[in-house]
Amino acid sequence: MRGAVLALAFACASFASGCHGQFPASATPTLFSSLAGIWSGFQKETISEGVAVGDTHIAKQEWHLTQTGRRISGYYVEAETFVSGDGRPYVCNRHPQFSTVTRFDISGTLEGDGTSAQIQETRAALPGAETESCAPRPRTLRQYHARVNGDLLVLANDSVREMLYRSFEGGLVEAMVATSPAPKPAAAVGAGPELVRGRGPSPADADVGGIWVWEHRTASPEGDEKIEREEWHVEQDGPDLHGYYDRSVHQISTDGHAYRCSMALDFRLVTRYQFTGQLRDSKIAIFEKSFEVLSPNACDNGKRRLDAYEGAASPDELRLIWERGAQVLRRPRPDVPTQRF
């Protein structure tokens, strides 16, 4: 995501927002016959109000849906991690972080021409290893209006709007529940930096260390040329990942008029994002934790925010999805120098 830093409570959160990448879905709505399967989405935000103001909230949902005629059934698992913003421990477990997992059973009915449906949560349960004091607070079961567009599923009601993406390799959240240790404080079962911690390196883990590059050329909303480039530097220690990437945006005037902000026909913005992540076999989860502007520029509107990604790794590609788009990182060719800012 590239926007202002998130500052919304999760009750009103949206798995929507972003800037680079393209929608993985087609532009033509598809029928709900394709709804069956696994859908996932996740979010990282800074809480802006209440007793937890300043804390970080990381959430991942994984929906498992089936369809029989016009009837929809299934469940979803929501894994949440809360990280203290000032380092002080939480009362519930005496640690500066805790995680919870909740399962919701759902049912629904297809509507109209097959591009929308009503979905209702019918039951909530706690399958994870939470302590009673750190368990999530009970909430009213929700009802959603759902619409599907290719590989994008949008769920909305008066207070929540969530965007989920079709996942062809599910089980990430369920694996966190199944492999959780016996109940104890600070059980690492959340969808955050502690995603698979404690499992140790596995020969099946993909090798993602090194440099990866993403490039994209498009037109800005004003019609000017926009060239985006990201260079990811990933360090891997078993299942644990960390590093940074430099994101460069070069915008060029196409009508011959100089930009007022730069008094030139082009301008460039460069930002460095620090991140952590986790790897399980070929599945990857990455969470941005901070950013730094490397090239201050009067053309910078300051709209940035931290994002979270999930995807799959192969020897030559990292396929990542985020809240409103997708991108493919590739190893740089040996004959092309990488950039340092």
Pair (14, 130) in one structural domain: yes
Pair (249, 144) in one structural domain: no
Pair (215, 166) in one structural domain: no
Q: Compute the distance between CA of residue 15 and CA of residue 13 in angstroms, rounded to an integer.
A: 7
Pair (128, 30) in one structural domain: yes
User: Quick check: 113 pLDDT over 80?
Assistant: no
On whether residue 153 sits in a domain, the answer given is yes
On whether residue 272 sits in a domain, the answer given is yes
The tens digit of pLDDT for each residue in 164-205 reads 888 765 555 554 444 443 333 333 333 333 333 333 344 456
The tens digit of pLDDT for each residue in 136-175 reads 777 889 999 998 887 788 899 988 888 888 876 555 555 4
Q: Total structural domains in the chain? A: 2
Q: Compute the distance between CA of residue 309 and CA of residue 332 in angstroms, rounded to an integer.
A: 21
Pair (171, 258) in one structural domain: no
| Chosen domain end from 161, 178, 195 | 178
| Residue 105, domain extent | 10-178
On whether residue 275 sits in a domain, the answer given is yes
pTM here is: 0.47
Q: Compute the distance between CA of residue 317 and CA of residue 22 in angstroms, rounded to an integer.
A: 17
Mean pLDDT for the stretch of residues 313-324: 82
Pair (63, 145) in one structural domain: yes
User: Quick check: 39 pLDDT over 60?
Assistant: yes
Pair (81, 222) in one structural domain: no
Domain at 313, CATH number = 2.40.128
On whether residue 50 sits in a domain, the answer given is yes
Instruction: Write out the two tokens for 325.
Output: 């788009």
On whether residue 86 sits in a domain, the answer given is yes
| Cα angle 225-244-174, degrees, rounded to a multiple of 5 | 105
Pair (129, 228) in one structural domain: no
CB within 8 A of 269, min separation 6: which ones? Answer: 248, 249, 293, 295, 297, 299, 300
